[in-house]
Amino acid sequence: MARDRGRYLVASGVALWGAQLGVIAVPLTAVTTLSAGARGTALLAATMALPFLILGLPVGAWLDRVRRRPVMIASDVIRAVSLATVPVAYWLDALTFAHLWLVVFVNGVATVFFDLGTQSHLKDLAPADQLVRANGRLATLTQTALICAPPLAGWAAGLLSPAAVLASASAGYAWSAAWLASLKTPEPTPAASSQRQPLLADIRDGVRFVRRQPVLLAVLGAGCLVNFGTSSFMAVLPAYTINDLGWTESQLGLYLGAGGAGGLLGAVTANRLAGRLGAGRAVTAMCLVIAPVAAVLPLTGRPVPGYLAAGAWGLIIYKIGFDAVLMMSFRQAVTPSHLLGRVNGTMRVLLTGAVMAGATCAGATAAPLGTRGTIIVAAVALGLVWVPIVLSPLPRMSTLGIEPATADASAPVRVRRG
């Protein structure tokens, strides 16, 4: 199982690399090849989030009924094939914005199945005493992709073309599918169809489970504010830095790479910081740090130099890396395996709804407020991220103190206070 767990984490990491390369290369393709502005890049960002909003709940419930690994392999294959059509169309001088939008949507749908499967299947490969460590490794791989993929994508896009970067991302998805197919550890057998309740009832159980956990609701509220703010910022950042500030693709990649460095540091130090401060106080501290730092974002480039603004962005992404370890471990520990897909689906729908709302808001405000005005809106959301945490029981808890999860979706989680 240990060998398969390692291969699983590597395959997931390669897929994450592909996704991060696409996050940079897709809007760069739209800006540099198709002359898209802030509205166009915001539309693409919203389209990436839309499938999670529509499909997250039913897909999460459905994944509790099937073996997850074959679904993940199929998702990788779909992403590899669809993404490969973009560089082909580019080299044939036949690429259109409608084509690029359709590819983003198809990839978004496949990513719903892959990501929810990844979050749920890891628990099948990691014993309870290895779960936090496995999540830490997955978060480290994620943040490594965040720190390395953006500057690499920007550098490669400038040296070759954004289409060449997308071709590499397509190859990464294909490689991930091959490695997942090589795993030998059998998956748990899903419940027989005769023992299942209707899919809608399964979805309702997942929503009820999330709704009745006060600490989880607080983390969800903070996560929604972070997602709204970061997605608004990212939706207009390529147009702002390249069109307004005159940055090169490589400079944009280095700026985003600073954020990846912060996220990697957050993933690596999360458990140690939580051990010293207490999990609840550590989460609260992370939220309070973002408020003043977020004010730097609208000042990026003018008057705050790019390297200082990159440091502020790194601190903001530090929190995201921090949360990737502790909050995912909390979610998995509190949720019984047979509910995990539904709970992950419920959480992902709400968090992705915030992503889509942020991207949609960016597209709507880019014209009347300008790109800098849109970034101010994003900074306000990030500056308020501490509110749901401070108003919750979380700051008074030295540990999450999660007691064994129950199959009863209506039972609230009990926590120990410090």
Q: What are the tens digits of pLDDT across the range 374-399?
A: 999 999 999 898 898 888 877 776 55
Domain span at 36 = 2-185+199-396
Which two tokens mark 68?
A: 């997850």
Segment of 77-86, 280-289, 387-396 carrying the highest mean pLDDT: 77-86
Using the predicted structure, report yes or no on whether residue 278 has a pLDDT greater than 70.
Answer: yes
Rg (CA), the chain: 21
Asked whether residue 300 is assigned to any structural domain, the reply reads: yes
Q: Which residue has the higher pLDDT, 96 or 57?
A: 96
**CB neighbour list of residue 192: distance below 8 Å, 6 or more residues apart:** none
d(CA 313, CA 257): 10
Classified as helix, coil or strand, 304 is strand
Asked whether residue 418 is assigned to any structural domain, the reply reads: no
Give the pTM: 0.66
Mean pLDDT, to the nearest integer, of 354-382?
87
* Beta partners for residue 304, in sequence order: 300
Q: Are 332 and 131 in contact (CB under 8 A)?
A: yes
Using the predicted structure, report yes or no on whether residue 415 has a pLDDT greater than 80.
Answer: no
Residue 310: other Cβ atoms inside 10 A: 21
d(CA 418, CA 404): 19
Q: Confidence class of residue 191 from pLDDT cuts 50, 70 and 90? A: low
Backbone angles phi, psi at 227, to 5 degrees: -65, -40
Kindly report, residue by residue over 127-178, the tens digit of the pLDDT. Answer: 555 666 666 677 667 666 766 676 677 677 777 788 888 888 898 899 889 8
Using the predicted structure, report yes or no on whether residue 367 has a pLDDT greater than 90.
Answer: no
Question: What's at 384, amino acid-wise?
Answer: L
Output the CA torsion sign for 67, 73, 77, 79: positive
Asked whether residue 413 is assigned to any structural domain, the reply reads: no
Question: What's at 127, amino acid-wise?
Answer: P
Asked whether residue 298 is assigned to any structural domain, the reply reads: yes
Q: Which residue has the higher pLDDT, 106 or 191?
A: 106
Domain total in the chain = 1
Mean pLDDT, to the nearest integer, of 344-370?
83
Using the predicted structure, report yes or no on whether residue 403 has a pLDDT greater than 60.
Answer: no
Q: Confidence class of residue 407 from pLDDT cuts 50, 70 and 90? A: very low
Q: What phi-psi label fits residue 278: left (phi over 0), alpha (psi between -120 and 50 degrees) or beta?
A: left
Which two tokens mark 203?
A: 């979805």
d(CA 405, CA 9): 25
What is the per-residue pLDDT for 204? 85
**CA angle (169, 173, 175) in 5-degree steps:** 110
What is the per-residue pLDDT for 146? 63
Closest CA to 29 of 95, 102, 107, 109: 95
d(CA 316, CA 324): 13
Provide the CATH number for the domain around residue 277.
1.20.1250.20
Mean pLDDT, to the nearest integer, of 304-318?
87
Which two tokens mark 322?
A: 């921090």
Using the predicted structure, report yes or no on whether residue 13 has a pLDDT greater than 70.
Answer: yes
Q: Calculate what percentage of the chain has a pLDDT beyond 90.
A: 12
What is the per-residue pLDDT for 98? 92
Where are the strands (E) in 32-106, listed by range? none
Question: What's at 42, amino acid-wise?
Answer: A
Q: Are 318 and 260 in contact (CB under 8 A)?
A: no
What is the per-residue pLDDT for 239? 82
Helix (H) / strand (E) element for 191: namely none
Which two tokens mark 227?
A: 């997602």
* Beta partners for residue 300, in sequence order: 304
Q: Are 166 and 86 in contact (CB under 8 A)?
A: yes
For residues 197-222, one letter each, b for 16 or more C-beta atoms within 10 angstroms of the residue's C-beta and e for the rest, the string is: eeeeebbbbbbbbbeebebbebbbbb
